[in-house]
Each structure stands twice: as C-alpha cells, then as structure tokens.
Amino acid sequence: MLRISDLTYRIAGRTLFHRASVTVSAGRKVGLVGPNGAGKSTLLRLVTGDLAPDEGEIDIPGRWRIATVAQHAPDGPDSLIDTVLAADTERTRLLAAADADADPDRLGEIHARLIDIDAHAAPARAAQILAGLGFDDAAQKRPCSSYSGGFRMRVALAATLFLEPDLLLLDEPTNHLDLEAAIWLESWLARYPHTVVLVSHDRGLLNRAVDGIVHLDAGRLKTYGGGYDRFEKTRALERAHLTAQAAKQDAQRKHLQAFVDRFRYKASKATQAQSRIKMLEKMEPIQLLPADRTVAFDFPSPGPLPPPLITLDDVAVGYGSAPVLRKLTLRLDPDDRIALLGANGNGKSTLAKLLSGRLAPSDGRMTTPPKLTVGYFAQHQTEELDPSRTALAETAAWMPDATDQHCRDHLGRFGFSKTKAETPIGSLSGGEKARLLFALITRLAPHVLILDEPTNHLDIDSRKALVAAINAYRGAVVLISHDQSLVELTADRLWLVADGTCRTYQGDMAQYRKLLFEQRRSERGAAGRAAGPAGDEAAAPADKKAQRQAAAALRSRLAPLKKRVAETERAIERLTDRKARLEQRLAVPEIYGGPTEQVTALQKELSSVLKDLDAAEAAWLSAQDAYETAQIGQMAG
C-alpha cells in the first residue's frame, strides 16, 4: 500500500502540507481533489521521489513499480507503436540481448523471462491502448514527429498505461483527449487491477473510474469513500453537522458567560462563577469547514434575432482543395444547446470554425442574419494572449471604444477583481487565462457561443460555474468537450461528426457510451479473428459429443461466478438503500438541535455502511471480472 505519514512540505516559504497523512490500499483507485494551487501535482512528485519532504515519510513497497506520464511529449522518427513498446525497458533490453547473445544457457534464461513478462502479447496490447486513445492502425505506424504536441502527449499517456505499474499516478490525463478517448480511458481505469492516484477536475471520470476521493485542503489530506458526488454529499453533511455543533456551542458559551458576568463578584456565587470560567477556557472552538469557493461566470445576453441563426444547405468545407466535411445540412436556432460528438480528426473543430466564420464553405450555401455575432473559444487562444499585458489592458485592446470602467465591469462578470485585472497575463493561472478569454469573446454579447474544449484549465468549481452560465445564457451554444458531465448538464441536442459529414444523433450520452463500447468490442473481435490461424474454416468439425461435454463443463464453472455477481449486486442495493436512509435522516436540520449522541451514532452507522459498501463494490468488481474472464475464455475456446 501507499502510506503517507505526517507529511510536511514547504515551497518558497509557503507550507503546502502540514502533518498530512493518508493510506491508499493496494488495488484501490482514488481521485485526488482540492483547490487549484493546493499542491496536488506537488504531492505526486513527492510520491515519485522527484521532491523530498521536509518532514514525515512516504512508504511504498519496494517491489512496486511506479509510473506517471512524462511531462515532455515524445518526439523523433520512431512510430507510435514502437515508442509505446520502448517504454517497457526490460522487454527492449531482453529482446536486444536475445539477438546478440549466442550462449544457449543465457538464451534460455532470456526467453524464459520474456515468457514471464508476456512479451509476445506486448505489441497487441500497445496497439489496443493506442486505438483506445484515438490512433488507428495506420496512425500507429506514423512517426511521432508527424503529430502535434497534444497528440504526442496522448502517446506519452499510452506508454504509461502500457507499463501497467503497481502504482499509477495520473495528473489531468484527459486534458489532451477528446470525449471518445476520455470515455475509453474511464473504462480502462475502472478495470485496472492495480493502485491508481488520479488528479482530475473531470467530475464524470471521478464518479465512474475511482472508488475513493482524497481531499487536499489547508495542507491536510482526508479520505472519503465512493466517487465525487458522494464526496460532495458527505462534505455537505459534515459542514451542516459542524455548523449545528458550533451554534450549540456558541449558545452554551453565551449562557456560561452571562452567569459569570452576573455573579463574578458576588461572594455566594464566586465558586460557581470560577467553575464556569474554567469551563469557558477549556472549550475548544469548533473548526468549521470552509465554504465552497464561488467563481463568477456571467455571459451577457445578446439582442434578439429571429431563427434560424445559421443554416447550412449541402455545404462542404475543408482546407485548400480537400474538403473535410461534405453534405452538411444543419440548422442552429437561438435556444439550441448542441454538443459535437466524434473522434478527433473527424472534423469537429473544422465544423466549429465554419460556424464561427473562420472557414468559408467550399460548396453549398451557408446563411446567417447580417447582425449575427459569434463568440469563439479555442484553448490555444490563451497561448496567443500577450503575457506582458495586464488583463485590463488586453480587454481594452479588444474593446477600443469602451471606457476603463466598462472594461473593469465586464472583467468583473468573470471574477476579476481590481488586483487581478491589473495583473500581467503571464502571472495568471491557466484557469484565470481561460476566464479572461471567456470575457474577451463575449465582449459583444454574441448570439452564438462556440466552445472548443473550454474546461482544460478549469477546476471543478469553475466548471460548475460554467455549467450555470451556459444554462443561463440566452443565445445558442455549440460545445466540443471531453468533459462528459459538462455535455450531459448543458447540451439538449447531439450532433455526430463522422464519415465525412455531420448528422443529428438521436440518443443520449449513456447510449453514445454504450455505442462506443460495442464498436470497440466488435473491433477487438474482428482483430482477433484476423489474427487467428489460417485454414480454420477448412478444418474438420469437432466431435459433437466432446463439444457438448465442454459446454456443460463451462456452464458448471460459470454458474457459481454468475451467482456471486448477483449476490454482490443485491448486497450493493441493500447497502445503498441503508446509506440513502441515513443520509436523509442526517440531512434534517432539526436533528442537530437534539442530543449529540444521536447524531454521533448516525454518523458512525453511516461510516460503517460506507465501508461495507466499498467492500461490496470491490467484491462485485472482482466477481464481475472473474465472470467476464471465464466468458472470454469460452469465446476463445
């Protein structure tokens, strides 16, 4: 297990961790969350040994392999598949030794070790990971140097996943992924059999891929069971309980102080007064949890325009003479909230640029009202801001006719105080630069907002604020995002960009995830059939009796596994019901005005139920994995 004990670490005179402790058991997957700047990435570097703590200990089993994604994207002439395979240095070294060593005994040892590490299956496993992250067979054979930095960071992620370390440390792994690759990564992490510490602001990923949350706040670490939604609910219950206890303590303090003030100098009551003074001195103030941070997002409302805002009739669009998308017949109305689905490279950003007016149709007709204004957000635009300018100066350059106060007021809609408005852009955080870009693209109160991956540098609080702002905005929104929660909470229509065109997708995100899983299962099956030995179809049919016997034996093996899956599912249902009832009782404010023992007993019972639920979910995962493995064995047989 990973054990952090009494960790203290300071940087530039600031204490990031003060006697922080946490334990992550082997095989657990936890999300590490906390405010931006709290030290999440620093903690990962402390775990890897890149940084040394000032005090305390970090204990990791000596046999464990640790891996994290390289900060620099791989480059050079090697293909993507070779780059990923090279990450396993032991396999690379053994293969080189097998080619160079002529000693039969040594060759035997080398090949035995290659068998132990399953080296023969490595190319297929590497290809499967790259495919999940969006690289088809042809793309995997291209050199790394032919890809942009974002795509090469995907290769770095693939290389880390390929290693299958005992402790996997991931810091915002979805930032360079599209929605489809993020969904694949989510399912991969959920099945991963080893320990994972995941830093992410992606709420969906933190709900579906981890079984616990480690919260970093004020230099301390605290563990919560379940995903992010459960963490938020538990945190809210803690806050309500502490607030009620603090109010009760404050009332008691006032009562004692009133007695002291009244009888302090009265001889007959002096002893009782002194007793109450001592009681007041011994009272430890109850530390309240800090209130949730509020982030400002307020998109100005556009003036009215009659629908449709944008109409595409049989449009083709691309770069130069080669169209990327054809036969586009689409319509955008003022109240539309549309998310674009489709793998990277299919043309989502091309369609966004067409709708924003940055690309003109090469064929067909695009119709817009003369007064239409469009706000276009693309993540790379934050890199184009002048780092030497202040946020206020940049806003003034984009709004030359506006007064200084008007510029300040507009920045204020996006959480920029006077100090932040006068801070050089180079000194702003990634999230603050993103909020500045939101302010700049909405300066004209656009009728359409086109948002291409707007959340990469936004923390969870900022993403919640963005959801609220999009839902309150009175214009149309076209969204491209790998953040499934953002899509699910804001989009009411889905467009699928695939096969060189774009069409309406009739399902919801749950159905789209299911579609992707089915497609990948079908692709894996096709790949397995293609890799099978030639001539199987010409082989003589197997003995019918032997087949029936084998099938009966397999059913016999599957039956207890299937039963175990059903039993664990029922246990999870029972525990989930108990948890809901306890949380409902603890959510009633009146309970905190009653006996403290009752609240404490309920809290202990809830804690016990959460532990039992974690254990039941782990048992279900184990049972489900065993059952699916047996089924795969059946298909392979």
97-149 pLDDT, tens per residue?
888 776 777 788 888 888 888 888 889 999 999 999 989 889 999 999 998 88
199 assigned to some structural domain: no
Q: 176: burial class by Cβ within 10 Å (0-12, 13-18, 19+)? A: buried
Nearest to 446 by CA among 361, 356, 385, 380: 356
Instruction: Please report which helix (H) or strand (E) contains residue 329, including its range.
Output: strand 322-332
Displacement of CA 357 from its chain's centroid (Å): 32
Q: In which domain, by residue range, is 569 found?
A: 543-636
Q: Residue 527 falls within a domain, yes or no? A: no
Is residue 601 one of the residues assigned to a domain? yes
pLDDT of 430 strictly over 90: no
145-182, pLDDT tens digit by residue?
A: 998 888 899 999 999 999 999 999 999 999 888 899 99
pLDDT tens digits for range 568-578 = 878 887 887 78
Q: Which of 37-41, 87-91, 282-286, 397-401 is predicted with the least confidence, judged by mean pLDDT?
A: 282-286
Angle CA 34–37–39, to nearest 5: 70
Instruction: Look up the CATH number of the domain holding residue 606.
Output: 1.10.287
Write down which residue in 141, 158, 175 finishes a domain.
158
Which DSSP letter does residue 543 get? P
Tokens of 631: 């089924």
Q: Looking at the structure, do residues 491 and 588 belong to the same domain, yes or no?
A: no
For the chain, give the percent of residues with pLDDT over 70.
89
Are 388 and 428 in the same domain?
yes
Distance CA 142, CA 140 (A): 6
Residues 350, 478: Cα–Cα separation, whole Å:
13
- CA 148 remoteness from chain centre: 22
Predicted local confidence at residue 153, as pLDDT: 92
Q: Of 125-139, 422-436, 531-545, give the lowest mean pLDDT range.
A: 531-545
At residue 299, the 3 state secondary structure works out as coil
Q: Is residue 635 over pLDDT 70?
A: no
**Could you give the CA distance from residue 410 to residue 401 in angstroms, rounded to a whole number?**
13
Q: Which of 99, 130, 158 is the last residue of a domain?
A: 158
When pLDDT is averaged across residues 288-317 and rounded to a whole number, the result is: 85
**Predicted local distance difference test score (pLDDT) of residue 47:** 95
Residue 38 maps to a domain: no
Distances from the Cα of 459 to the Cαs of 452, 462, 558, in angstroms?
17, 5, 44
Model confidence at 271, pLDDT cuts 50, 70, 90, reads confident
- Non-local CB neighbours of 118 within 8 Å, separated by 6+ positions: none
Q: What is the pLDDT of residue 392?
A: 95
Q: To 10 degrees, what angle do helices 270-282 and 228-263 make?
A: 160
Determine the pLDDT at residue 272: 81
Indicate the residue type of 234: T
Neighbours of 254 (CB within 10 A): 10
Q: Is 432 exposed, middle or buried (0-12, 13-18, 19+ CB in 10 A)?
A: buried
467 is a domain residue = yes
CA distances from 399 to 243, 406, 411, 413, 451 (A): 46, 9, 12, 15, 21
Q: What is the reported pLDDT for 584? A: 73
Rounded distance between C-alpha atoms, residue 179 and residue 208, angstroms: 15
Q: Which of 382, 396, 390, 384 is nearest to 433 (CA)?
A: 382
CB 339 within 8 A of CB 494: yes
Element (H, E) at 225: strand 220-225
Question: 558: exposed, middle or buried (C-beta count within 10 Å: 0-12, 13-18, 19+)?
Answer: middle
What is the number of domains present in the chain? 4
- pLDDT interval class at 553 (50, 70, 90): low
Kindly state whether residues 574 and 511 are assigned to the same domain.
Answer: no
Q: Above 60 in pLDDT, residue 552?
A: no
Lowest mean pLDDT among 304-308, 397-401, 457-461, 585-589: 585-589
pLDDT at residue 423 tops 60: yes
Residue-wise pLDDT for 433-492, tens only, equals: 999 999 999 999 999 999 999 998 888 888 999 999 999 999 999 999 999 999 999 999
Long-range contacts of 314-318 (CB under 8 A, 24+ apart): 314/363, 314/364, 314/365, 315/354, 315/361, 315/363, 315/364, 315/365, 315/366, 316/361, 316/362, 316/363, 316/364, 317/350, 317/351, 317/354, 317/359, 317/360, 317/361, 317/362, 318/350, 318/362
Residue carrying structure tokens 């549309």:
338
Contacts of 144 (CB under 8 A, 6+ apart): 73, 74, 75, 76, 77, 78, 79, 80, 83, 152, 155
pLDDT at 438: 94
Shared domain for 323 and 238, answered yes or no, is: no
Q: Which of 158, 178, 195 is the last residue of a domain?
A: 158
Segment holding 378, helix H or strand E: strand 374-378
Identify the residue with better confidence: 231 or 616: 231
Is residue 412 domain-shared with residue 510, that is, in the same domain?
Answer: yes
Does the pLDDT at position 58 exceed 60?
Answer: yes
CA 59, chain centre distance (Å): 26
Q: What share of the chain in percent tops pLDDT 90?
A: 48
Q: Is residue 506 part of a domain?
A: yes
Domain co-membership, 625 together with 511: no
Query: Which range among 223-232, 391-400, 570-579, 585-594 shows the weakest confidence by mean pLDDT?
Result: 585-594
Q: How confident is the model at residue 538 (pLDDT cuts 50, 70, 90)?
A: very low
Residue 165 lies in a domain: no
Residue 290 pLDDT level (bands cut at 50, 70, 90): low
Residues 413 and 498 in one domain: yes
The CATH number for 360's domain is: 3.40.50.300
> pLDDT averaged over the chain?
85
Residue 404 is assigned to a structural domain of this protein: yes
- Contact status, residue 205 vs residue 179, Cβ threshold 8 Å: no
* Helix (H) / strand (E) containing 475: none
Of 41-50, 101-110, 311-320, 384-393, least confident by mean pLDDT is: 101-110
Same domain, 460 and 553: no
Residue type, 125: R
User: Does residue 416 sit in the same domain as residue 554?
Assistant: no
Q: Quick one: 432 and 332 in the same domain?
A: yes
Q: Which residue has the higher pLDDT, 42 or 281?
A: 42
Q: Which of 1-5, 44-48, 73-77, 80-84 has the lowest mean pLDDT?
A: 73-77
**Averaged pLDDT for residues 271-298:** 75
pLDDT for residue 536 = 37
Residues 621 and 511 in one domain: no
Residue 464 and residue 350 share a domain: yes
Residues 219-230: what's their mean pLDDT? 91
Rounded CA separation 449/376 (Å): 6
Tokens read off for 174: 């979805």
